Structure 1
Amino acid sequence: MKLSELPHRTAATVESVDDQAPNDAIARRLRELGFVSGERVEVMAAGPVAAEPLLVQIGFTRFALRRSEAARVRVRTEVEA
């Protein structure tokens, strides 16, 4: 499932970050921020307008991501494992 589809307050594990083009700057930046395979991630909240941005916690750090950015991150929940 994609991170943008993950229900709020549901723990998941990052599987991968999808590149949409060769040398994708956004995907590379997400990996630099810690969205790498095996990391625990959770969607904490969503913004008031069109549920954007998403407040995402990875480790002890929180980030605000657009839904389009979160859709690049593939995750696996405990139930799927």
Structure 2
Amino acid sequence: MSLYPLTLDKLPIGQLARIVAVDWSVLVEEEARRLRALGLEEGARVSVAHRGVFVGRDPIAITIGRMTVAVRRAHAAAMTVEAIANGGAKEKSADRGAEKPANPGIAA
């Protein structure tokens, strides 16, 4: 683990991470409630899918599960994350041309 905390706004695109802490005190109560309702809280596994093209690179598209959510950079900066090795990223290996495992329910 790094000596310096990594926040969600600094996470490289495509890197899988786990949210380890959220500084809820810097967020407006309604915004914090909305982020929790979307599952962006401690323990969630996330990745950055895209960063905006406007000045400040807002918004940031965050993938959580099968959902992609746009959040402000200030909200992402309030979330401390821990990078996870991408060894379990099945979709990425399939995109690179790796063989997909056979479906056990279908006879070959």
Report the Cα distance in structure 1 between the residues aligned to 2:50 and 2:28, rounded to whole angstroms.
30
Mapped pair 1:12 → 2:17: yes
Task: Please identify, of 44-53 and 20-29, the stretch whose mean Cα deviation from structure 2 is larger.
Answer: 20-29
Q: TM-score, normalised by structure 1?
A: 0.82
Q: TM-score, normalised by structure 2?
A: 0.64
Matches within 5 A, 1:3-42: 3-20=8-25, 24-42=29-47
Mapped pair 1:67 → 2:73: yes
1:53 to 59, 75, 85: 59
Larger strand share, 1 or 2? 1
Identity %: 34
RMSD: 2.0
Structure 2 unpaired stretches of 5+: 1-5, 86-108
Report the Cα distance in structure 1 between the residues aligned to 2:29 and 2:77, rounded to whole angstroms.
14
| AA in 1 matched with 2:53 | P
Report the Cα distance in structure 2 between the residues aligned to 1:22 and 1:62, rounded to whole angstroms.
20
Q: 1:25 to 1:60 in 2, by over 3 A?
A: same
Count of residue pairs the alignment pairs up? 79
Q: CA deviation at 1:21?
A: 5.5
Larger helix share, 1 or 2? 2
Structure 1 unpaired stretches of 5+: none
